[in-house]
Amino acid sequence: MAFSFSDLVEEAWLSARALKDYSENIFNPTVRLGVTGLSRAGKTVFITALVHGLSRGGRFPIFESMSTGRIAKARLAPQPDDAVPRFGYEGFLATLMEQRDWPSSTVDISELRLVIDYQRKNGAERTLTLDIVDYPGEWLLDLPLLNKSYEKWAAESLALSRQDPRRRVAVDWHAHLATLDPNGRENEQETLTAARLFTTYLRDCRNEQFAMSLLPPGRFLMPGNLAGSPALTFAPLDVPEGGTAPERSLWAMMVRRYEAYKDVVVRPFFRDHFARLDRQIVLADALSAFNAGPEALQDLEAALAGILDCFRVGRASMLSTMFRPRIDRILFAATKADHLHHSSHDRLEAILRKLVERAMQRAEFAGATVDVVALAAVRATREAQVQRGRDRLPSIVGTPIKGEMADGEIFDGETEVATFPGDLPTNLQGLFKGEDTFRGLAAGRHEDADFRFLRFRPPRLDNRDPDGPALPHIRLDRALQFLIGDQLQ
């Protein structure tokens, strides 16, 4: 692919920034860890639990440097970037431990700096700075737009919207689209209506019943301070790929605003944040996709592949670190493993591995190390055996969120219940095939679905003791060992 002059300027700027970062890190080793995932995957909970566990000395038997006592202390340091909001760790922790509620979802980028004092295996005292960068996974799915024309993006978006189950929620938008003449005069009100209906379609696709994941442009669902701006006021039109928009036409107006979106939103994110990452964890809420059905799983697979395609991956070297940083370790994590009995965790990992299989092969070929894990950054349940007739079923016990429903019972948010979550299937091919092998919530009533995973409140803990226990988890230590264990040797 040929580079334009602006591309060359951008690469030169990125190299200069990388060299500056490298010089600053010579005497202060720093790892920039990106944490992302699609909506409701648990990014905020993951970061809060990671920081809490490291600073409280949590039970991390697989995280070697902590289990052997080589980590002396982990402490928060002032926010390093004056232009980026600080991750609200203290407030999120209070929400989890005092209110027993889940923190609000990530809607913008934020950072947090954690300084780890440790002893190397040879006995030398060292310090590692861990800069944690939290950003919505939906923003990652915007990066491919940098290499797509408006016409190509519009054609892809329309093709997706004409497939089930998206077609069912695109009716109003499609009806308005049929009234538009792309070659007609530009019209602000028609554009506003198209953008509003297109955004509603994207939001409805993300609904629990459908749980679609591939929903660019990402800022349409989390506009922040750009809400209502022309850069977020456009929508696909039925126009030919490779065509040319007539001057001052509705088509030309959409093209101009699409390009503004890339300039105002996508390029700054890539340049200022994404291109500087060293390590990455991608969180995926596979259980929501199970609830929704095979189309949601296939859509999640496409979204995860698209996310991995965005990363600059490869084996890190001194030259790459100085001039072209690469992400050399990527961990895909299936969250909410505590909603299953541990006997299904291996199957959950196998399903996630299947979802990212092709993308992992490409990354590993480039020299990156990629792995998958089933985890719960905060464990909301415990396991038990429940008698049902003559059978003893492996079950989980927890407090369902107020309003959750099972077997006709609506839970009050205070009562602890035991539930048998079922076993995940072992036939991975059948899981992805279709309605006759997997129904999900898209089939209609909850009770008709193959799987229905309850949502639970965080566990009840005593936070009055500042030196009390860290939040319980499942395999958070394994994630830490993979992501930063080699930096603490």
Q: Rounded distance, CA 449 to CA 48, Å?
A: 33
Q: What is the pLDDT of residue 16?
A: 56
Q: Rounded distance, CA 248 to CA 183, Å?
A: 9
What integer is the mean pLDDT of 425-448?
Answer: 55
Tell me which range, 224-233, 257-266, 312-321, 346-355, is most confidently predicted by mean pLDDT.
Answer: 257-266
Q: Rounded distance, CA 127 to CA 122, Å?
A: 14
Q: Rounded distance, CA 111 to CA 134, Å?
A: 6
Q: In which element (H, E) is residue 283 found?
A: strand 279-284
pLDDT digits (tens, 9 = 90+) for 315-366: 554 444 443 457 889 999 999 999 999 989 999 999 899 888 877 777 776 7
Q: What is the pLDDT of residue 423?
A: 74
Between 121 and 15, the more confident residue is 121
Give domain limits for the chain: 5-135+273-376+478-488, 143-268
What integer is the mean pLDDT of 356-382?
Answer: 86
Q: What is the pLDDT of residue 24?
A: 57
Q: How many helices (H) and strands (E) does the chain have?
A: 18, 12
CATH class of 5-135+273-376+478-488: alpha beta
Q: What is the pLDDT of residue 63?
A: 97
Report pTM. Answer: 0.85
pLDDT digits (tens, 9 = 90+) for 105-156: 877 889 999 999 999 999 999 999 999 999 888 888 888 898 899 999 999 9
3-state secondary structure of 17: helix
What integer is the mean pLDDT of 254-265?
Answer: 95
Q: Rounded distance, CA 487 to CA 176, Å?
A: 55
Q: What is the pLDDT of residue 442?
A: 44
| Cβ proximity of 67 and 90 under 8 Å | no
pLDDT digits (tens, 9 = 90+) for 233-248: 999 999 998 889 999 9
pLDDT digits (tens, 9 = 90+) for 162-172: 998 999 999 99
Between 449 and 484, the more confident residue is 484
The strand ranges marked E within 27-162 are 30-37, 71-77, 110-119, 125-134
